[in-house]
Amino acid sequence: MEKGLFKQGIIKFTAGVILLGLLIFVPAGTIHFPNGWLFMGILFIPMFIAGLIMYKYDPELLKKRLNAKEEESEQKEVIAWSGMMFLSAFIIAGLNYRFSWFVMPQWSVYLAAVIFLLSYALYGEVLRENTYLSRTIEVQENQKVIDTGLYGIVRHPMYMATIFLFLSMPLVLGSPLSFLIMLGYIPLIAKRIRNEEEVLENGLEGYKEYKEKVRYKMIPYIW
């Protein structure tokens, strides 16, 4: 086991908890924001467990997830816009709670939490099926086309999972305004997929044939 990898993971995890906590609770003006704690719990507890599992059974995958530096210029633009979208959505969610702009029924918050956790589980299954997954657009050494499991249904099951993850986040926080902001993720992910498929077609043997075999990008029979 690499002690440096474990330390890196703990540092990034802790930084993520602190940063997100500040983005949510400072605009809320209080730490007594139940939906905020619910979201922090369903996000970071599974993330911590998943990190430990990867560290023990697939440290190379964990390393890929931690050391993400995008080289594609088009993807840097997507990441920048995504970052602004997330910042805006979380800050607005906190302000929504502080000023009670919109109050969602609690049952809808819990429903969104269930959708979030199911999407998280789907994301974990994608990681299990495809050990080549990286947070950056690249073709790795000895990479092969995965066309079984979820990849036999849609070409980008990871992005399918993230659509449900990201759109459920603001609803867990009880903020319809933040949900509207997060809808911006859809055109951003469409742009990312378009660029990613160009890279894979040019650099990954068999990907063109895979596209002909699996027609849908993210949503079966729709897109």
> Is the residue at 90 inside a domain?
yes
9 falls within a domain: yes
pLDDT at 118 over 80: yes
Residue 218 lies in a domain: no
- For 44-94, how does the pLDDT look when each residue is reduced to its tens digit (9 = 90+)? 999 999 888 888 887 877 777 776 665 556 667 778 888 899 999 999 999
Query: Do 170 and 93 touch, CB atoms closer than 8 A?
Result: yes
pLDDT of 139 higher than 70:
no
Asked whether residue 220 is assigned to any structural domain, the reply reads no
Virtual torsion, Cα 147, 202, 65, 79, nearest 10 deg? -120
Tokens of 155: 């070409």
Cβ(190)–Cβ(125) under 8 Å?
A: no
Q: What is the CATH number of the domain that holds 162?
A: 1.20.120.1630
Helices (H) and strands (E) counted in the chain, each on its own, are 9, 0
More confident residue, 117 or 1: 117
The total number of structural domains in the chain stands at 1
Domain membership of residue 221 (yes or no) is no
Asked if residue 149 is part of any domain, the answer here is yes
pLDDT tens by residue, 187-213: 999 888 888 888 888 878 888 888 888
223 in a domain, yes or no? no
Model confidence at 120: pLDDT above 70: yes
- 166 within domain boundaries: yes
Expressed as residue numbers, the domain containing 86 is 3-213
